[in-house]
Structure 1
Amino acid sequence: MSEQEHQHSHPHTHQSHDAIIKRLKRADGHLRGIITMIEEGRECVDIAQQLHAVEKAVCQAKRMLIQDHIDHCLEDTVSALNNGERAPLEVFKQITKYL
């Protein structure tokens, strides 16, 4: 079983996931509103401003997810390294690419 398959075989959740879901659902609604603005021919500057707001919201959700992962999984990664395991370190390296 690949690392990716292993990750999907059981849920990987943190306390912050509910808050992240709420943020992303709010951003999703906001994005749908922007699509309507474009369809209605609203001013480009207004659309750009709203896109900027959605972009910031998504970036904040991503940052929260990564920080939470680091906070909760760093200890596990260090323990695994002390036991000679390398896989958790690779996952840790992969997620930091998205910072």
Structure 2
Amino acid sequence: MANLTRLPGRAEHHWTWQERAACRNLGTDRFFHPAGERGEDRTDREEAAKEVCALCPVQVECLRHALRTQEPYGVWGGLTEAERRALYTRVAS
């Protein structure tokens, strides 16, 4: 029989913040770019995503998750992938 006392325990606290996210029922189109998107279209989409993030009650938790897991794509916590990469670079140097 397995020794269950050695299991790490419940972990929903790592993701329950997502249930309160302003983007929860909006779909992904606003937050993740389609292949080949560039220029003004990309800027407009990212700004629309950031507007949602700005009003989100869990923006900090979302950004913390994206930074901790190094999310490679999309707008998370109000930052684009390029903005997050710039943060990683500054922290690493």
Q: Same fold (TM over 0.5)?
A: no
TM range (shorter): 0.3 to 0.5
Of Structure 1 and Structure 2, the greater helix share is in 1
TM-score, normalised relative to structure 1? 0.32
Structure of higher RCO (CA pairs closer than 8 Å, 6+ residues apart): 1
TM-score, normalised relative to structure 2? 0.33
